[in-house]
Amino acid sequence: MSRGYFQHGGVTFPGLLYSPRGLEAARDFPVEDDDVFNVTYQKSGTVWMLEILSLIRSDGDPHWCRSVPNWDRGPWLETVLGLRRARGNPRPRLISSHLPVQLFPKSFFTSKAKVIYTVRNPKDVLVSLYHFSQIFRPYKDPGSLEQFLEKFLEGDVPFGSWFDHVRGWLELRGRENFFCISYEELQQDLRGSVERLCAFLGRDLSAGALDAVVANASFAAMSRNRMSNFSLSPLFILDLRRGPFLRKGISGDWKNHLTVEQSARFDRVYRERVAGLGVTFPWDPP
């Protein structure tokens, strides 16, 4: 099984599941005004947001989430199979993507389709991605955390640099069809976050439906749900014998993994790269 990577538009992609032709087709994907895109840098809470959006769409009824795998409910546009699925799904469509903004479908930028961009403390993204790289077969073995930290900071990982991804997407702030939320906000106040998402999506859910969204999108509920925990994923894609996809589901796990020196090294690069973005995050170093 090849674990080769290829470059497309200056960004690294794994050869398994992705192809240059597929990425070109994604760029030409005909976006509809009622499409809702769930966009993230990987390991920032993509499947969590997908579950929340699926449940909002179903008025809190978990039937859809419990009967259809998440990759079919909100297919990943950039994968060869996900693109096909996204094309075929009935409207209004939920579509997931880790694409950097410059590789996103061109037609989105003249449409009324909505993007929800979820951002997460990049130190937690690093740790989550480090573990994920050990179970996701299309990715190369990450080596030691020390080695992987350097690759992450350089952007020498699939989907490229976290810093570039966030910078690119946050340029859309202020557009009425763009909504940015953090993993940490979801953690701190899931119900309030769901209410804000409903307002953005123009959905009016009853108190009971909101409660049902919150209950069914919990880490425990998703870990139990075979349609959301990736236990249906074939072994050649995801090796769950080496660890679960829904690993810890907490904020700040980086403190259990990075040394004081590694954290300080991260902070130095972070300050340089996030400066000038005109945005403050709760995890910004002092």
| CB proximity list for 275: less than 8 A, separation 6 or greater | none
Shortest spacing between CB 242 and ligand A3P, in angstroms:
13
| CB proximity list for 87: less than 8 A, separation 6 or greater | 29
Shortest spacing between CB 253 and ligand A3P, in angstroms:
5
Amino acid at 246: L
- Residues that bind ligand A3P in the complex, under the rule CB under 6 A: 40, 42-48, 124, 128, 131, 217-219, 222, 246-249, 253
Shortest spacing between CB 14 and ligand A3P, in angstroms:
15
Shorter beta-carbon distance to ligand A3P: residue 27 or 43: 43
Shorter beta-carbon distance to ligand A3P: residue 128 or 161: 128
Shorter beta-carbon distance to ligand A3P: residue 47 or 153: 47
45: left (phi over 0), alpha (psi -120 to 50) or beta: left
Residues labelled as active-site residues: 98
What Cα–Cα distance (Å) separates residue 223 from each residue in 66, 227, 228, 246, 278? 12, 9, 7, 6, 36
Shortest spacing between CB 204 and ligand A3P, in angstroms:
24
Shorter beta-carbon distance to ligand A3P: residue 47 or 83: 47
Shorter beta-carbon distance to ligand A3P: residue 40 or 79: 40
**Separation of first and last alpha carbons in the chain:** 45
Shortest spacing between CB 97 and ligand A3P, in angstroms:
11
Shorter beta-carbon distance to ligand A3P: residue 58 or 218: 218
Could you give the CA distance from residue 213 to residue 69 in angstroms, rounded to a whole number? 17
